[in-house]
Amino acid sequence: MKILVMNGPNINMLGLREPDLYGNQNYESLCNQINAYAEENGIEVAIFQSNYEGALVDCIQQAYGVYDGIVINPAAYTHTSVALLDALKAVSIPAVEVHISDVSKREAFRQVSYVRYYCEKTIAGHGFDGYIEAMAYLKEKYGE
């Protein structure tokens, strides 16, 4: 099966940004863990990160007919982007929302998630493991 893992703004700053919330490992390490899990489990994975909302929308649109599942951490766009929600609805690919930190225990403005209206499941506060859990969920439900 083919899974697209998407990350929004500032996820490329992992390791540097607020390590108390997001840990000490960098973005490359996150990608390595995702790729290793995919390889061990017969998943074809592509990883995309952008700081631009439109680029993330383009990426979701281009996933149509290509990927069987999407793992998405929209980062700050989680709390603002109807465009990402609409793009997910448009392509209708099964998706799981992931957050490294436990957004439910953070500021009031982080309690809204637009993509959650579409995603089958939200995994938050499990660190990098959340991405692996999301891939495992999609593989179990939609994999051959």
In the complex, which residues of this chain contact ligand DQA (CB under 6 A)?
A: 10, 73, 75-76, 78, 99-101, 103, 110
What is the nearest approach in angstroms of ligand DQA to the Cβ of residue 107? 8
Contacting residues for 82 by C-beta, under 8 A, at least 6 apart: 114
Q: Which is nearer to ligand DQA, 81 or 101 (CB)?
A: 101
Tokens of 55: 């680029």
**How many other C-beta atoms lie within 10 A of the C-beta of residue 95?**
25
118-127: string of b/e by CB count within 10 Å (b at 16+)?
bbeebbbebe
Judge whether 22 counts as a catalytic residue. Answer: yes
Q: Which is nearer to ligand DQA, 9 or 143 (CB)?
A: 9
Q: Which is nearer to ligand DQA, 68 or 77 (CB)?
A: 77
What is the nearest approach in angstroms of ligand DQA to the Cβ of residue 84? 12
Judge whether 79 counts as a catalytic residue. Answer: no
What angle, rounded to 10 degrees, do the helices at 53-62 and 82-91 form?
10
What is the nearest approach in angstroms of ligand DQA to the Cβ of residue 64? 24
**How many other C-beta atoms lie within 10 A of the C-beta of residue 82?**
11
Catalytic residue among 37, 67, 77, 99: 99
Which residues are known to be catalytic? Answer: 22, 99
